[in-house]
């Protein structure tokens, strides 16, 4: 018996996505697909529409028109919870952490483990949360010994970003969206994020990776979709292109950069 690799399956299919803000078109009819186990880079200059597009997938924004299919099924994502339930996990640009809450509460936001004592309402299982948080932070390579019950407000930009990533890592998602995840990170933390994307692929998961670092793109992704002023200007297999070509397409220049 010979082992055969199953054909890639379409996980996400976005078609004709349009979005305007006060009459200004941010997305001008975008088509984007992601297959199972595929890492797709979403590239483009500042304001090209990258974050706006992925917010439609993570349930934060609604398109004016267009359709979003996940595993072939039309999805009306109305909230971040709907997206999570559909197997989509997002690490937002600038990481959405809650200053008022502890490190471990931020790690479990919305999905806190609960314990139910006989005859009582379910209560937060703080002990389990702190224990799991400590293990996660260690896995993320946070050097200093962070107390999971301390406030997130006391952490540096890079530490906060590591916590946002650790949060996404612990849940079983089919699609992981990373919007500029390596901003603010040190060398080792950056390496861990890239390795996390590779590991996710090895486990059969898909990723959409937004970054301005072209070298990271060539290190991890399979395909690059390039946006310019709300339109897709190229959809390239990384193995068939060069850094120079991708840079030219991002900036829209015809002469070498
Ligand atoms: N909530 C909003 N209200 C008004 N305009 C918005 C809003 N969100 C985005 N825009 C506009 O839509 C366009 C696309 O913005 P978007 O944040 O998607 O860009 P981006 O590609 O993620 O850029 P960057 O690389 O700087 O993060 C920009 O012109 C931006 O000003
Ligand atoms: Mg953005």
Q: What percent of the chain has pLDDT over 70?
A: 88
Q: pTM for this structure?
A: 0.83
Statement: residue 78 has pLDDT above 70: yes
- At residue 160, φ and ψ (nearest 5 deg) are -60, -45
Place of tokens 């120079």: 244
Concatenating the DSSP letter of every residue in 181-250 gives: TTTT--HHHHHHHHHHHHHHHHTT-EEEEE-S-HHHHHHH-SEEEEEETTEEEEEEEGGG--HHHHHHHH
CA distances from 135 to 16, 101, 151 (A): 43, 19, 18
Q: Is the CB of 52 under 6 A from ligand 1?
A: yes
Kindly state the tokens that stand for 61. 């924004």
Residues lining ligand 2 (ion), CB within 5 A? 50-51, 93
CB atoms within 10 A of CB 5: 5
Q: What is the pLDDT of residues 214-244, one digit of tens each?
A: 999 999 999 999 999 999 999 999 999 999 9
Contact of 62 with 109, CB cutoff 8 Å: no
pLDDT of amino acid 237 = 97
**Ligand 1 centre distance from Cα of residue 52 (Å):** 6
> pLDDT confidence of 139, banded at 50, 70, 90?
confident
What domains, with CATH codes, occur in the chain? 7-87+173-257 (3.40.50.300), 100-171 (no CATH)
User: What is the atom index within ligand 1 of the atom nearest the CA of 49?
Assistant: 18
**Ligand 1 centre distance from Cα of residue 61 (Å):** 12
Rounded CA-CA distance 120/129 in Å is 20
Rounded CA-CA distance 245/235 in Å is 12
Q: Is the CB of 23 under 6 A from ligand 1?
A: no
> pLDDT confidence of 79, banded at 50, 70, 90?
confident
């Amino acid at each position: 018996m010979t082992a055969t690799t199953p054909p890639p399956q379409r996980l996400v299919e976005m078609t004709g996505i349009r979005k305007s803000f006060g009459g200004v078109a941010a997305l001008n009819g975008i088509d984007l697909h992601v297959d199972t186990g595929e890492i797709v880079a979403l590239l483009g200059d500042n304001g090209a529409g990258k974050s706006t597009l992925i917010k439609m997938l993570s349930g934060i924004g609604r398109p004016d028109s267009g359709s979003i299919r996940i595993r072939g099924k039309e999805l009306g994502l109305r909230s971040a919870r709907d997206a999570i339930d559909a197997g989509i996990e997002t690490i937002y640009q600038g990481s959405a952490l809650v200053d008022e809450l502890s490190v471990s509460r931020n790690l479990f936001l919305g999905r806190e483990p609960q314990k139910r004592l006989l005859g009582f309402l379910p209560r937060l299982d703080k002990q389990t949360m702190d224990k799991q948080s400590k293990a996660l932070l260690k896995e993320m390579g946070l050097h200093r010994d962070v107390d999971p019950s301390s406030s997130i407000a006391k952490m540096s930009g890079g530490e906060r970003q590591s916590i946002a990533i650790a949060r996404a890592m612990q849940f079983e998602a089919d699609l992981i969206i990373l919007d500029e995840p390596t901003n603010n990170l040190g060398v080792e933390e950056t390496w861990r994020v890239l390795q996390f994307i590779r590991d996710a692929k090895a486990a059969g998961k898909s990723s959409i990776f937004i970054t301005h670092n072209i070298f990271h793109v060539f290190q991890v992704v399979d395909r690059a979709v390039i946006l310019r002023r709300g339109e897709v200007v190229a959809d390239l297999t990384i193995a068939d292109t060069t850094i120079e070509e991708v840079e030219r397409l991002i900036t829209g220049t015809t002469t070498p950069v």
